[in-house]
Chains A and B, each alone.
Chain A
Amino acid sequence: MKRVWCGAALAVALASSGLAAVQPSGGEALALLEQAVEAKPDDLRAANDYRMAVIQAAQYDRALAFFQRLAIEHAGSANLHLSYGFEYVDKIPAAGAITQVILANNALGEFTKSIELQPTWIGLYTRGNSYLFWPRIFGRTQLGVNDLEAALKMQRAERKRGYHVRVFVALGDGYWKMDDPAKATATWTEGLAEFPDSAPLKLRLSKPGDELKVLLDSVYDSSKRVDTSLTDLWSEP
């Protein structure tokens, strides 16, 4: 049953990447998706399709080796480093608690390389959001807030997109984690004014302090799988 489901997921990934005409096995399907990424290493969408298939197949080490090789060959590709970083994040739920820390740190390293090559909204949002998963004793929450504030500035200069709501959510969370609930509430409220249908914002604004802590502890529980799918980015024109 698991294999059928896995096969179905791969089929979806292949369909998404335009490779659906082929009917390959699991390993062959991943190879085809890797070919697509190799052909366009800077293409977030091709890498996203591949990563989603990798999650279903639980072939994280294969994918990390693949991205590592590609990142050496295409060291100047900002989006490739972003995809490589996401691959580390994708493996986290499958790893032990200490390995999770190493993976999360490696992911941050790749996100940073991506931003250094080209500071993009998705790069800043991704790294900023990642910092929020680190317990406060590591002193990385403020770094996350800095990235998210930069992402907010960037999105204000762009045409409004549905996925921009994510920055309001995460930035408010960052302020809350920095013990500034007033600023958190103001950020979530501002976000809700721009995105009145946002369930995550409504949820945060509806919770009293203790319940909000439980909610955010759950959201930033590093042992849970983080949705790293980027389909939002190309779901609207």
Chain B
Amino acid sequence: MKRLAFALAAALSVLVAGAVRGPLARAEGNGPMTFEEIAAKAGVNTPHHVRNFNGPGADVLRMFTSGGASAAVGDYDNDGLDDLFVTDSDNGTTCHLYHNNGNLTFTDVTARAGVGGGNDPLSIVSDALWFDYDNDGWRDLLVVRFGTPLLYHNEHDGTFKNVTARSGLNGFANTIAAIAFDYDNDGRLDLLFGNYFKPVNLLNLKDPHVLPNDLDQAVNGGGVTLWHSLGNGRFEDVTKKAGLGGHTGWTLDVGHGDFDNDGLQDIYLACDYGTDRIFFNNGDGTFRDATEQSIGFDTKKGMNVDVGDYDNDGWLDIYVTNITDEYMKECNMLWHNNADGTFTDVSRETGTCETLWGWSAKFGDYDNDGWLDLFVVNGLRSGNAENYIPVLVNMITRPGVDFTDVNSWPDIGKMTWSGYQKKKLFRNLDGHTFKEIAAASGVDNDLDGRGIAVSDFDNDGRLDFFQTNANQTPLLYHNTAAGAGHWLEVKLVGTRSNRDAIGARVTVTAGAKRMIREVNGGNGYAGQSSQRLHFGLGADAQIAPLHIRWPSGTEQDVTVPVGRITTIMEPGRH
């Protein structure tokens, strides 16, 4: 039956789902951008818990590992509605799988699905990812940890089976970020892990010298791990073979995209305590480190990688958050792609530089005007009135202090460190300038944000987003913008390419605008957004046939309706 349905879908090639929204009073995308916070109403407001440690340095380690509040969006049951997986981190706490009921409410189906585990005395859940590792048309779930990862196979009936043992994903790492992408375009999704600490178990610490050896140029972090899919449900570690083994930074996020328009997926690594890295894909299973010539070396605290063409020039740009606060003026980086393998940071010029202690940031056309906006969460720890910074600086400036020693760092107790920070929503005005409108849009909460997962949860053509917060309840923002412009969404299904179509690029031409989007496998810190591609069209209700470049190299032009969600299958092998 399932095969028959699939064959029908293939025959049709293009399936149309969803419904056209009612007439819009002002479908141009230039009306007020408004959101309503509905996490409690929607049933997705279970709080996150930061891991508690025991013994000497417990307070410091708790602080250093407070980044594991993440969310992953994925339609695990293929009902056309994006579901939500949300992590927790303290020992014995449960991660949550929320099934989307279609009416902006969710049902917690964790117990039945069997995916709540992962937080045990020696492991901390830190991030999660939906991806169809076996190309069976059903998204599987990866949970990464400060520990070994967990891989759950989707059993097609609302349950999952733990297949970690036979997957080969058995390497211990302090993984904080993960993306799925097909770096060698063999039709199978590979995995890239960003690892924060070096691979020592922080929950069973033998040597306290595990913290950064330099606070601006650290080289004793966990680097990255590249897992190549062998196609039989197994993965092999190819980090060194691929040319990524030399990176030993404190990786906080990893992102991918075809930065040089050669049909191959390149990668960007955001690193805490030192320079970010950019690697271009050589097309032979290896990457080349182009950091020095492409972006230059930096000393910032890279926290997030999101990829999008904010100026609609046909080249993917990159947004990285850093720390810009009263005591530290790093500025974020909006890397404008110069179309020649180099990037220029235009965050100051565009008005996207200052977001305080930044964490996740996500591009999205939240007002459907054809320009990618940016939502940025921030805030490390909101405690009492006492500020940790002067205490910390006393340690940092002590002559001869050993930063790597957990015992050198003063306890934070209940103190505040870059807490109570207002979130930032940058509206893209014209591809060159952004205006900060979080307060007016109702999203300027001051929680300790970590991740963002963007999705059109109610299939109304307007992008909503879910915000995770460390040791606090999450938030779900429903997009209520009345004057949002026209839109279209496409769900791509690979046949020769990987089934999730990760890496596929869609180009839409609407009026004078030519927009590109790529399906990504988890870009952005602690949050995987929908794999459906969303395009705001502004006042343009008519568009030219959209162009798809599949990871297999197949090119396709498809006419799709505006105001609908369209499923498109890759032509060719089924």
**Interface positions of B from 282 to 305, Cβ below 8 Å from A:** 299-301
Q: Would B326 and A96 count as touching, CB distance under 8 A?
A: no
- Of B124-132, B137-145, B386-394, the one contacting chain A is B386-394
The answer to the question of B14 belonging to the interface, with a C-beta cut-off of 8 Å to chain A, is no
Report how far A95 CA is from B328 CA in the complex, Å.
12
- Chain B residues closer than 8 Å to A221, beta-carbon distance: 329
**Which residues of A are found within 8 Å of B387, using beta-carbon distances?**
137
Indicate whether A22 reaches chain B with its CB closer than 8 angstroms.
no
Contact B328 A105 (CB under 8 A): no
A129 at the interface (CB under 8 A from B): no
For residue B323, which residues in chain A have a CB less than 8 angstroms away from its CB? Answer: 97
A222 to B325, CA, bound (A): 12
A105 proximity list for chain B (CB < 8 A): 393, 397
Contact A137 B390, CB 8 Å, known A96-B300, A97-B330: yes
Assuming the contacts A97-B323, A221-B329, A223-B329, asked whether A139 and B390 have C-beta atoms less than 8 A apart, the reply is: yes
With the chains together, A222 CA to B328 CA distance in Å?
A: 8
Residue from the list B217, B330, B393 in contact with A101, Cβ < 8 A: B393
Q: Which of A95, A106, A135 has the most CB of B within 10 A?
A: A135
What residues of chain B lie closer than 8 Å to A99, measured between beta carbons?
215-216, 299
Nearest A-chain residue to B325, judged by Cβ:
A135
Given A137-B390, A138-B390, A139-B390, residue A98 in contact with residue B328 (CB < 8 A): yes
Number of interface residues of A (CB under 8 A): 17
CB proximity to A under 8 Å, residues B325-377: 326-330
Across the interface, do B393 and A96 meet the contact criterion of CB distance under 8 Å? no
Q: Contact at B397–A97, with CB atoms within 8 Å?
A: no
The answer to whether B216 touches A137, judged by C-beta atoms less than 8 angstroms apart, is: no
A135, B390: Cα distance in complex, Å: 10
Among candidates B299, B327, B389, residue contacting A96 with C-beta atoms closer than 8 Å: B299
User: Using Cβ atoms and an 8 Å threshold, which residues of chain A touch B217?
Assistant: 96
B329 touches which of A97, A102, A139 (Cβ 8 Å): A97
Q: How far is the CA of A171 from the CA of B299 in the complex (A)?
A: 33
Q: How far is the CB of B91 from chain A (nearest CB, A)?
A: 31
CB atoms of B393 and A138 under 8 A apart: yes
B397 touches A98 (CB 8 A): no
* CB nearest to A223 among chain B residues: B329
Q: How far is the CA of A145 from the CA of B76 in the complex (A)?
A: 63
Q: Report B409 CB to chain A, min CB distance, Å.
A: 13
Instruction: Tell me if B429 counts as interface (CB < 8 A to partner A).
Output: no
B328 touches A97 (CB 8 A): yes
Q: For A98, A102, A139, A221, which residue has the most chain B Cβ atoms within 10 angstroms?
A: A98
B396 is an interface residue with CB less than 8 A from chain A: yes
- Rounded to whole angstroms, the CA-CA distance of A106 and B390 in the bound complex is 16
Expressed in whole angstroms, the Cα–Cα distance for A221 and B328 within the complex equals 10
Verify B215–A135 contact, CB threshold 8 A: no
In the complex the two chains form, what is the Cα distance from A78 to B30 in whole Å? 63
Q: Are A96 and B215 in contact (CB under 8 A)?
A: yes
B493 to chain A, nearest CB (A): 45
Hey, what's the 0/1 contact readout for B299-316 against A, CB within 8 Å counting as 1? 111000000000000000
With A96-B217, A135-B326, A221-B329 as known contacts, state yes or no: A101 contacts B390, CB within 8 Å: no
User: How far apart are the CA atoms of A101 and B387 in the complex, in Å?
Assistant: 17
Some 29 contacts from A to B, beta carbons below 8 A apart, are: A95-B216, A95-B299, A96-B215, A96-B216, A96-B299, A96-B300, A97-B216, A97-B300, A97-B323, A97-B328, A97-B329, A97-B330, A98-B215, A99-B216, A101-B327, A101-B393, A101-B396, A102-B397, A105-B397, A106-B397, A135-B327, A137-B387, A137-B389, A138-B327, A138-B389, A138-B390, A138-B393, A139-B390, A221-B329
A96-B215, A106-B397 known; 16 other A-B pairs, CB under 8 Å?
A95-B216, A96-B217, A97-B216, A97-B299, A97-B330, A98-B215, A98-B216, A98-B396, A99-B216, A101-B327, A101-B397, A135-B327, A137-B387, A137-B389, A137-B390, A221-B329
